[in-house]
Amino acid sequence: MSAQTPVILIGGPTASGKTKLAVAIAARLGGEVVNADSMQVYRGLEILSAQPKSAERRDVPHHLFGVLDPAERGSAGWWAGEAARLIKDIRARGRVPVFAGGTGLYFSALTEGLAEIPPASQAVRNRVAKLDDEGGSEALRTEAERVDPAAAAKVKGADRQRLRRVLEVIWTTGRPLSEWQAATVPALLRDDWAGLVIEPDRDELRTCIAARFDLMLTEGALDEARELMARGLSADLPAMKALGVAPLFAQLRGELTPEQARTHSITGTRRYAKRQLTWFRNRCADWPRLPGPDVDAALTQLSVAR
């Protein structure tokens, strides 16, 4: 490993304590926290995306939290560019970049590289959405395997988001995603980063998810959803897919009771956490695991000087 302290990457499912651990590590090493969650980049979702509060940011600098308007389309490519810039800036200050989040694609962008693929047009997105609506994951996989078998083979199970991406790329560029990926160079060399995954006990995580959403409700999640709903933004914008948004919108329209909206939100979050755990097990199998945000255990696992 290089003489310079490596960039720290902390992944795991939602509500597992990633940011808490990142702050503790940053405080111990003289570092700065960088968000690696695709929903926490949006303003107006401070509560629903569980962004760290001002008091939690007081002693350690935080970056890429609430930097985009919900009307904007954040992407892995945009994030990777910002992350690369921040790594240089933070290191230039003699400090350690500590990334934390649950968006696995963001981590792979740093460690494996991310092709600069032109964005899909609305027409292409509509075409893919139509196929998804009519045939679901089976139709998406069948078509993905036909047009780009190499990329489709890397998609585990019914991961509709990644299957849709395979189709969007080839239908937009005429070039398979697998070819774009083969030509990429990672932002971080293998000896320049150290990563770990927080993997809590399943029952404990389920309990934490429910308790956190209840706390969100007491902190004003419904008001946050009301303000977002009043903007009348397109439903296909990334920010509109944040956990809890759709059920709370339905409550505000009178389609769900408050208890139903709560149940739908918690259930959706638990399902998302399960998908995150599967992603990290498949794509980060060699990263050390911790059951919770224990800073001493984390530094030991990362082999980083304290």
User: In this predicted structure, what is the pLDDT of residue 183?
Assistant: 74
- CATH 1.10.20.140 positions along the chain are 122-182
Considering the entire predicted model, what is its pTM?
A: 0.81
Query: Residue for token digits 């959403």?
Result: 213
- CATH 1.10.287.890 positions along the chain are 203-276
If 0-12 CB within 10 Å is exposed, 13-18 middle and 19+ buried, where does residue 201 land? exposed
Q: What is the CATH number of domain 122-182?
A: 1.10.20.140
- DSSP result, 5-63: PPEEEEE--TTS-HHHHHHHHHHHHTEEEEE--SSTTBTT-TTTTTPPPGGGGSSS-EE
Tokens of 263: 């149940």
Give the Cβ contact number of residue 115 at 10 Å: 19
What are the per-10-residue average pLDDT scores of the chain (306 residues)? 81 97 96 98 98 93 98 92 96 97 95 84 94 94 95 88 93 91 83 96 98 98 98 96 98 98 98 96 94 96 78
As its CATH architecture, domain 203-276 has Orthogonal Bundle (1.10)
Domain 7-115+185-200+281-302: CATH superfamily, name plus number:
P-loop containing nucleotide triphosphate hydrolases (3.40.50.300)
User: In this predicted structure, what is the pLDDT of residue 3?
Assistant: 62
User: In this predicted structure, what is the pLDDT of residue 2?
Assistant: 46
User: In this predicted structure, what is the pLDDT of residue 305?
Assistant: 59
User: Cα dihedral angle (11, 12, 16, 18), rounded to 10 degrees?
Assistant: 10
Query: Residue for token digits 């329209």?
Result: 253
